[in-house]
Structure 1
Amino acid sequence: MSANEGLQVVWFKRDLRLEDHAPLAAAANGKPTLLLYVFEPELMNDPHYSERHWRFVTQSLLEMNGRLEPLNQRVYILKGSMLEVLDAIHAHNPISNLLSHEETGLRVTYERDKAISTWCRQHRVNWQEYQSNGVKRGRYSRDGWAHDWHRVMSQPLAEPEWAQLLPAEDQQRCLSDYVMESALLKAWSTRDPSHQLGGVGAAQHALESFFDERGKIYHKALSKPLLSRKHCSRLSPYLAWGNLSIRQVYQRLQAERGRSGWGRALSALNSRLHWHCHFIQKFESEDRIEFEPMNFGYHQFQDDHSLANEQAWATGNTGIPYLDACLRCLQNTGYLHFRGRAMIVSALCHLMQGRWQFAARQLAQWFLDFEPGIHYAQIQMQVGLTGINTLRIYNPVKQGLDHDPDAVFIKKWVPELSELPVPLVHTPWELGPIERACMDMNYPDPVIDIAQAHKAARALYWDRRQNPLVRQDINRVLYRHVETRTHLKTQHSNKGELR
């Protein structure tokens, strides 16, 4: 069977939108096309994911189907192995073309994609994968990457010609064994008011409200636990799950250039759009960092870890108020401001003897905007496993005093301390035993001595940074992940300041 015959299948993954969608645009060629999303047990049971992710995905898919209904199209929402689903479709209506975006995912999705590739070759199906945002597959160095990124971002949006997207015949019969449970879809379609709503409509509302008013002080709000909830873009889950493409946001941003009073905010957002793809490109180039340090020199170090401290951190009961407030906020809402994310990783891995792998998996479950490429590249950078980035060891008390001086955020998420005055609410262990008894606080003592823990972490990580094997691998890391023009700016200074 030639590629000009048979059924086309558009496979949605982390691209849950109908605009700027290259696979959809390519499929709009007058040939029968099946639109498909599969809830895969391998992913649903993976420790990186939780119900909040699948709820967001469901809301996105149902909204897409609402928009597709007048076009006599829909996304088939299935559950099962992608290989088995393809087998079922192919047996009923032979597939000629499978179209999808490239996915920079976890090892589990990489292994699945290799199996799909083998299946396509065996069944003579043409699998056409399209570049996702600014991430380029097959790169072995970063030279020219930024230029390519800007070129891709400036290209016209890939918009489907809907009149040419011909619906496939009803596939319900052959896919009856894989239909997603309606009760589960109904449950997940219901909005959890503590989390952002999935879907292009919600994404567009966040985008427009940012440029209407919210974003003018974006650059000032990045480090603030309360201000960030209103004045940061709040686009991260919509980008992570593909309700918006990076290019859509980039071009919307460019349209606002020159706007009075918005210069620094727009510059900060532009940088973060670039960083979004920059970090995913790292994971695309070296997906082994899901399991091991980026810099090979760090493989020699084996650390003891504290299960008790990991448990205290995971439950938001470390006895350090600002740290616990950030952890509880993230657990309950799926969102935490930029600096807060860095701080909670530093607190566990630098100060509390926690494993970076433990932090990575737990945080993935909590972050509504979990994106594997950004996630693991950021974790490695923050913990100090690259050998090239400045080591930042955060002091949670100082962060609270700097960014929540009146303890409004702390008292919201750690109500056990709501009666304590400022500044004691930041350091309740400074209360005397009589005062503590009178207050009857149901709040634990800190699991660490912050000053001692910082001193030990600073000595340990700086010593490791100077290790010959770590330094030996720096040039390889730079070549793979940093453009040549920045190689001379290797950061060998900074011994890990207390932030």
Structure 2
Amino acid sequence: MTRTALVWFRRDLRCHDNPTLAAAAEADELLPVYCFDPRAFGKREYGGPNSFSFEKTGGHRTRFLTESVADLRERLREHGCDLLVREGKPEDVLPELAAAHDADELHCSTYPTSEEKDVESAVTAALSDEGVEVQSHWGHTLYHVDDLPTDPRVIDDTFTPFRKAVEAESTVRDPLPEPALPPLPVSVGDDTGEVPTAPFGTDPATADDRGALPFAGGEGRAIDRVEEYIWEGDHLREYKETRNGLVGADYSSKFSPWLALGCLSPRYVHDEVRRYEAERVANDSTYWLLFELCWRDFFQFQFVKHGNQHFRREGIRNRTDVTWLWDDRRFRLWATGQTGIPFVDAAMRELNETGYVSNRARQNAASFLANNLRLDWRHGAAYFETKLLDYDPCSNYGNWAYIAGVGNDSRDRQFDIVWQANRYDPDAAYVKRWIPALEPFSAEEAHEPWTIPRHRRRDHGLELGTDYPEPMVRLERT
């Protein structure tokens, strides 16, 4: 009797080290499916107390996603299979496909946030009515959830104890090889579907050429980027020293967009780092890249533990002592890079024009909104959700809550933005790249244009409030 398996791709758009695909490939026939879910596009409610509307997926991530799905299809075809692409809710689409092609089982990756768990539960319920068994697989973290020293529901809420525990007591599993794939059911015919260019009316965006890297979606490009950064460019040996850079392709690995969509496995990156350490050098920089992957894991497991508490304004610390404000005008100035604080504005302009911004710059932009303006941090986090190529719900909302002081750190996380600007952008190359009106001025002046004497501003054609905004708040260096 022929055994047919559906494999539902979600944020695991790869063939290498994919436990879901490997398990499904043991069947006689394979039906790989990707669903463009209408709930992931357009205006949506945030949900919960004090809800608000925001755009779920912006143009930059839409482009990156459609490229990644198209790349996955090509890679599956190279393995003698194919990818069915559909537009609709998975709990509607997948049972129809299971019935049409007499599927026996469905395999999918599982994720810790309620939004993703709810869709998985709906799919499971719908398929159970069809007699189709659903098997879920954990495969998006460096350390497997079953290999943690303690149950994730009781892990420490502080990163350092978590890191020390997993480094001492857990082992990173070996990546799985790409499996040999069985063919599609004959009943599929040519009905594989097209990858939409503008799913549910969300148009893809083209990145500004001032961006750090021309990000292209897909597993193929992800593997190439690992090769370029680690091996060809030999940048890993200096990662710890350069990772806070702001301009250029190689100050950091920039693996995050591919990790977020599952085009790249963190265990693959781990193995490449270990091979680099064996063949070239092992130092603080090679360790630090794995350290950052451990941070990524920490937020994934924190959402297993705390669930929706991470999305609440009061956060996991239940902070009720902070008065969060809402001012649409001030928020729009922040979102469009018109605050009058160049380091913040450069970050937001880069984000809007490319879908990517360095970790250092995004932390400062987040701190300004949450700590200087005291605007509801969730609005900022939701704006990043819309814009970021590398949007991952756990990393995004976990980091925002951390900066806002309601998450995994009890310390004051307010950034001294002028100090940060001078420390990490000492020649003001970054702010001048995104704010051309500041080009004629010295680095110190470019970071604090409100201090420039009127006659110098006049000589260089800069009028504050016209050519560049007056600062929303006054920031002084400490």
Q: 1:380 to 1:181 in 2, by over 3 A?
A: closer
Match of 2:49 in 1: none
Of the three residues 130, 137, 155, the one matched with 1:142 is 155
Task: Give 1:443 shift.
Answer: 0.6
Q: 2:176 corresponds to which residue?
A: 158
In the TM superposition, 1:79-94 aligns within 5 A as: 79-94=87-102
1:128 to 128, 132, 135: 135
Query: Is residue 205 from structure 1 mapped to residue 202 from structure 2 by the alignment?
Result: no
Q: Separation in 2 of the partners of 1:373 and 1:280?
A: 6
CA distance, structure 1, for counterparts of residue 105 and residue 400 of structure 2: 37
Task: Say whether residues 1:405 and 2:426 are aligned partners.
Answer: yes
Determine whether 1:103 maps to 2:115.
no
Q: The residue matched to 2:39 in structure 1 has which SS?
A: helix
Tell me whether 1:9 sits opposite 2:6 in the alignment.
Answer: yes
> Does the CA contact (< 8 Å) of 2:260 and 2:391 recur in 1?
yes
Aligned residue for 1:167, secondary structure, equals coil
Question: Could you say which residue in structure 1 is the equivalent of 2:48?
Answer: none
Counterpart contact for 2:381–2:397, Cα < 8 Å = yes
State the Cα deviation string for residues 64-100 of structure 1 (Å, max 9, x = none).
2223324331111211111221232133223211101
Contiguous gaps of at least 5 residues in structure 1: 452-497
Gap change, CA 1:353 and 1:312, over 3 Å in 2? same
The question of whether the paired residues in 2 share the 8 Å contact of 1:411 and 1:417 is answered with yes
Task: Say which SS state the counterpart of residue 5 (structure 2) adopts.
Answer: strand
1:375 & 1:135 partners in 2: Cα distance? 21
Tell me, what secondary structure is at the counterpart of 1:255?
helix
Counterpart CA distance in 1 for 2:125 and 2:292 is 36
1:6 Cα offset (Å): 5.2
In 2: Cα distance, 1:189 partner to 1:152 partner:
41
Find the aligned partners of 2:168 and 2:126 in 1 and give their Cα distance: 35
State whether structure 2 residue 32 is matched by structure 1 residue 35.
Answer: yes
Specify whether residues 156 and 309 from structure 1 end up closer, same or farther in structure 2 by C-alpha distance, changes over 3 A only.
same
Residues 298-328 of structure 1 deviation map (CA, whole Å, 9 limit, x = unaligned): 1464433333321111000111112211221
Q: Is the 8 A contact 2:17 2:268 kept in 1?
A: yes
- Alpha carbons of structure 1 residues 232 and 116: separation in structure 2 relative to 1, 3 Å: same
Matched, 1:395 2:408: no
In 2 relative to 1, CA 305–181 (structure 1 residues): closer, same or farther, beyond 3 Å?
Answer: closer
Tell me the alpha carbon deviations over residues 44-65 of structure 1, each in whole angstroms, 9 at most, x when there is no partner: 2353421222211221222222
Q: Do 2:110 and 2:137's aligned partners in 1 also have CA atoms closer than 8 Å?
A: yes
Partner amino acid for 1:12? F
Q: What does residue 121 of structure 2 align with?
A: 114
Partners of 1:326 and 1:251 in 2: CA distance: 32
Q: Are the counterparts in 2 of residues 283 and 376 from structure 1 also a CA contact under 8 Å?
A: no
> Which letter does structure 1 place at the counterpart of 2:152?
R
Q: Which of 444, 449, 455 is equivalent to 2:469?
A: 444
Distance in 1 (CA, whole Å) between partners of 2:166 and 2:3 is 35
Contact 1:135 1:277 survives alignment (8 Å): no
Q: TM-score, normalised by structure 1?
A: 0.81
* Per-residue deviation, 1:191: 8.5
SS of 1:257's equivalent in the other structure is helix
- 2:4·2:27 contact (CA, 8 Å) conserved in 1? no
Counterpart for residue 67 of structure 1? 75
Report the CA distance shift for 1:85/1:384 in structure 2 as closer, same or farther (over 3 A).
Answer: same
Cα deviation, 1:245-292, whole Å, max 9, x if unaligned, reads 111111111122256655011011010111111111112222311233
Instruction: State how far apart, in whole Å, the 1-side matches of 2:71 and 2:404 are.
Output: 39
Q: Distance in 1 between matches of 2:166 and 2:240?
A: 26
Structure 2 matches for 1:163-312, cutoff 5 A?
165-171=182-188, 180-181=195-196, 194=211, 195-212=214-231, 213-226=234-247, 229-257=249-277, 262-288=282-308, 289-299=310-320, 301-312=322-333
1:66–1:417 distance in 2 versus 1, CA, 3 Å:
same
C-alpha distance 5-390 of structure 1, shift in aligned 2 (>3 A): farther
CA contact (8 A) 1:102 1:131 kept: yes
Tell me which amino acid in the other structure corresponds to 1:334: G
Q: Does 1:50 align with 2:47?
A: no
For residues 259 and 149 of structure 1, the distance between their equivalents in structure 2, rounded to whole angstroms, comes to 22
The percent of aligned pairs where both chains have the same amino acid is: 23
**Contact in 2 for aligned 1:33/1:165 (Cα 8 Å):** yes
Structure 2 alignment gaps of length 5 or more: 45-54
2:319 aligns to what SS in structure 1? helix
CA distance in 2, matches of 1:182, 1:260: 43
> Superposition pairs for residues 412-427 of structure 1, below 5 Å?
412-427=433-448
3-state SS in 1 of match to 2:145: coil
Structure 1 residue matching 2:314: 3-state secondary structure = coil
Q: 1:434 to 1:196 in 2, by over 3 A?
A: same
- Residues 164-204 of structure 1: per-residue CA shift (max 9 Å, x gap): 5232224367x68x75546879x869988654111122111
Tell me the equivalent position of 1:481. Answer: none
**Alpha-carbon distance between aligned partners in 1 of 2:167 and 2:123, rounded to the nearest angstrom:** 28
AA of the residue aligned to 2:145: K
Change in CA separation of 1:342 and 1:252 when aligned onto 2, cut-off 3 Å: same
Partner Cα separation in structure 1 for residue 415 and residue 431 of structure 2: 17
Bigger CA drift: 141-150 or 19-28? 141-150
Write the distance in 2 (CA, Å) between the matches of 1:91 and 1:249: 38
| Correspondence for 1:20 | 17
Moved more, 40-49 or 356-365: 40-49
1:428 aligned onto 2:437: no
Q: Shift of residue 440 of structure 1? A: 3.1
Q: 1 or 2, which has the higher helix percentage? A: 1
Distance 2:473 2:430 in 1: 22
Alpha-carbon distance in structure 1 between the residues aligned to 2:369 and 2:189: 49
Q: Which amino acid aligns with 1:89?
A: L
SS at match of 2:105: strand
Paired residues in the alignment total 444
Distance 1:86 1:340, change over 3 A: same
C-alpha contact (below 8 Å) 2:144/2:172 kept by paired residues: no
Distance between the aligned counterparts of 1:100 and 1:271, measured in 2?
Answer: 28
- The 8 Å contact of residues 79 and 179 in structure 1, kept in 2 or not, is answered as no
* Cα 1:95/1:305, change in 2 over 3 Å: same
Query: SS state of the match for residue 215, structure 2?
Result: coil
User: What's the TM-score once normalised by structure 2's chain length?
Assistant: 0.84
1:336 is aligned with what amino acid?
V
